[in-house]
């Protein structure tokens, strides 16, 4: 049964990406050039759609690049990357339904029931003696240290 927009990929159908806060998400490094990211993602089977977006600064252009895997992602992109001129990659948004599985310190972040992910992240924070904070939408933001989610530029869209 094709559920279209709400179809969820099984973990076995997703690439497995590691996340190191403020450094890397899968094959991508924060600060990477937009053209390099497009080439890297093409090597992983993703097609890119690039758009310049409204500038927050008149001196620096910004871009959003959406990545899809052919027909299977026609309803929504699997990964979106945001770039600032002369800065490079600043944010990676991984779709919870269609994107790669992202793992940080053993915690699977993608394609999870939010309450289960929240409980696992809280347990991880407690085990390490770290705090945990929440964003305005109430979603779990991660421990308040250099560990999971701290100062990160990874966003998960469900």
149, 113, 116: which is closest to 133 by C-alpha?
Answer: 149
Helix, coil or strand: residue 4: helix
Per the CB < 8 A criterion, the answer to whether 142 and 133 are in contact is: yes
Copy the structure tokens of residue 116.
């289960």
Residues 100-156: pLDDT tens digits?
999 988 888 887 788 888 888 888 888 888 776 655 554 444 444 444 433 334 565
Question: Can you give the pTM of this predicted structure?
Answer: 0.78
Per the CB < 8 A criterion, the answer to whether 135 and 144 are in contact is: no
- The residues that bridge with 17 in the sheet, in sequence order, are 102
Residues 141-155: pLDDT tens digits?
444 444 443 333 456
Helix, coil or strand: residue 59: coil
């Amino acid at each position: 049964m094709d559920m279209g927009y709400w179809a969820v990929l099984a973990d076995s159908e997703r690439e497995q990406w590691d996340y190191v806060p403020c450094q890397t998400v899968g094959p991508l490094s924060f600060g990477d050039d937009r053209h390099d990211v497009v080439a890297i993602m093409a090597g992983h089977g993703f097609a890119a759609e690039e758009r310049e977006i409204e500038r927050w600064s008149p001196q620096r252009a910004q871009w959003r690049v959406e990545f899809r895997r052919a027909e299977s992602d026609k309803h929504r992109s699997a990964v979106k990357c945001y770039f600032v001129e002369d800065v490079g990659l600043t944010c990676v948004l991984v779709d919870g339904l269609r994107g790669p599985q992202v793992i940080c310190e053993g915690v699977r972040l993608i394609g999870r029931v939010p309450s289960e992910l929240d409980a696992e992240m809280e347990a991880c924070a407690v085990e390490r003696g770290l705090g945990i904070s929440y964003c305005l939408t109430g979603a779990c933001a991660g421990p308040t240290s250099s560990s999971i989610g701290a100062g990160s530029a990874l966003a998960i869209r469900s």
